[in-house]
């Protein structure tokens, strides 16, 4: 699966999360580009990423920083 994430770094939160099937890769890539261009025109500095993972659960493990704050990550890493 592909996951398109718009992330507000300053607030430390996901603004949007959309998923796409592998067969929709071109659609996902086009959506990422459209979103980045739109945000740039508006002067919004959110991070936009397109990631691939077997599932959202897997994505939450491999890219924890989008789903958890630093304190949560530190707590689960040390425990």
What is the arithmetic mean of pLDDT over 42-71? 91
Q: What percent of the chain has pLDDT over 70?
A: 87
**Could you report the per-residue pLDDT of 6-26, keeping only the tens digit for each?**
999 999 899 999 999 999 999
What ranges make up the beta strands (E) of the chain? Answer: 2-8, 13-20, 47-52
Determine the Cα–Cα distance for residues 21 and 53; give it in Å rounded to an integer. Answer: 11
Pair 14, 67: CB distance under 8 Å = yes
Q: pTM of the prediction?
A: 0.86
Pair 51, 5: CB distance under 8 Å = yes
Q: Side-chain half-sphere of 62: how many Cα atoms within 13 Å?
A: 10
pLDDT of residue 75: 72
Other Cβ atoms closer than 10 A to 73: 13
Average of per-residue pLDDT values in the chain: 91
């Amino acid at each position: 699966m592909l996951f398109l994430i718009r992330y507000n770094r300053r607030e430390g939160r996901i603004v949007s999360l959309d998923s796409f099937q592998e067969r929709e890769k071109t659609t996902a890539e086009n959506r990422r580009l459209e979103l980045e261009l739109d945000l740039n025109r508006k002067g919004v500095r959110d991070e936009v990423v397109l990631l691939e993972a077997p599932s959202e659960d897997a994505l939450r493990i491999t890219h924890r920083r989008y789903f958890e704050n630093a304190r949560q990550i530190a707590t689960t890493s040390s425990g």
